[in-house]
Amino acid sequence: MLRTVLIFAIIGVYSCQSGPAIRPEDAQKVQCSVCQFLGASVAAKTGATREASVKHCLKFEGCEKQLTDCEIISIVHAEIQKTPEKFQNSLQSVASAAQRCSSEPSALVISESANNVQCMLCFLVYDVLKYINYNILENPMLGTVKEAIAEACAFLNEDLCQALFQPDTFGAIIRGLQDSLGGFYDLIAVQGFGCVPYTDLFGKCPGH
């Protein structure tokens, strides 16, 4: 359940990185690629089938077909390049994968190496959480994240969702999370995606 919430939250964050002027079709493309990236990452780590891991993504409008690894990386890389200062830790690994795809379009840059893709995934989660942690209270993105989590409520306990969206509850949770990025990372990335702990992240992944 935690992973489902984070998938929707990250999709919400990515879809608003370029500001309110982003075209709906571009937002759909980003949402689709991020969702399928997360699904493919889970498949690479757990050994689950790619089809099963991205199946829920294909329900989104504009995301009716399964993307290749390089198609996913191309879209994610292009989006990160619009605001590279927000993705300083994940940019290197994503750019490296994109460079390989430029000469080898069928390369399995997500599927073939569980260790490398795990580092890429963990740094993407870290960068997104850091962005939320530093900016969410002053940013209109807060509404988008609330909408993203509301979408995830279709998979969660109804009573839990009703409690989450009581007046001021959501804001209080976000303010509490702002006080501890490391704790937020360990809760989401470690428990949700099997990443190494926050204190080990920069030592365990190559290039950091």
CA 11/CA 83 separation, integer angstroms = 16
Look up residue 44 and give its two tokens: 């690479």
Per-residue pLDDT of the chain (208 residues; tens, 9 = 90+): 344 444 445 555 555 554 445 577 777 888 788 888 878 877 777 778 888 888 888 888 888 899 999 999 999 888 888 878 777 778 888 888 899 999 999 998 887 766 777 788 788 778 777 765 555 444 444 555 566 566 556 545 566 667 666 766 666 666 655 556 666 677 667 766 778 887 888 887 755 5
Cβ count within 10 A of residue 87: 25
**Residue 199 burial (C-beta neighbours within 10 Å; 0-12, 13-18, 19+):** exposed
Contacts of 54 (CB under 8 A, 6+ apart): 35, 36, 39, 40, 43, 66
